[in-house]
Structure formats: structure tokens, C-alpha cells
Amino acid sequence: MAVTKIKPVKSTLSKALDYIENPDKTDGKMLVSSFGCSYETADIEFGYTLSQARDKGNNLAFHLIQSFAPGEVDYEKAHEIGRQLADAVTKGQHEYVLTTHIDKGHIHNHIIFCAVNFVDHHK
């Protein structure tokens, strides 16, 4: 059974995105996808959306981690489950970057999504 946790990203958004997009962890970036933005420029695109926010706050984004037990899923299934989770959480209103890490004994997803939605610019 997957375990999920979420943390706020209050600074260094580009470092957080660089970490989750690491080619050594994501099969040469084959296990990186995004919604509402390009993963290559997500920090810039998140920044633009954040600049349009009606409400200012401390959080730039949220970092959701979804871990699977060893052997529970293969990397393709894990990535699809991560996409379903990201879509359910963001409801098609927030940019996000999804990666699946395969460098440890267990497969896990990282989802970073913008704290401000791009529909009405609310946090």
C-alpha cells in the first residue's frame, strides 16, 4: 500500500525541482512529466502564476511524495498512479511536475505543484 506525505516548499523552488528531475533517479528523465507547464521551465512558470496571486502567502508550492513497497508496482504503473493522484489533488487547476524515482529499493513519486491555481489565481 502506498504511503503519501506532503510538505510545503517555502523557498528554493528551482532546487526542489532540480532534485526531483535528477536524471540518475528518473531513468534519464524518461520518468518525468508535467501538467500546465514544461518541466524544463516549471520554476519560471510557477513564478509567473505566483506573481498573479490574489492572496500572498509563504508557500511557493507543495511537494507530495508517494512511496510504494518493494515489488508493489513497476515504474510505469507507479508513474500512472502518481499522475492520477496529481490530477485528483490539483483538479486541473495547478501546474505540476511529476517524477518517478527508481534509484532506491522502493519506487516512489515526487509531485511538486504550484501553490496558486492558474484559473482564478487563488492560493
Q: Which residues are catalytic?
A: 19
Q: Are 66 and 111 in contact (CB under 8 A)?
A: yes
User: DSSP readout, 28-67?
Assistant: TTTTEEEESS-GGGHHHHHHHHHHT-SS--S-SEEEEEEE
Q: Sign of the C-alpha dihedral, residues 43, 47, 49, 53?
A: positive
Could you tell me if residue 46 is left (phi over 0), alpha (psi between -120 and 50 degrees) or otherwise beta?
alpha
Record the cell numbers describing residue 119, joined without a space.
484559473
Record the cell numbers describing residue 49, joined without a space.
502564476
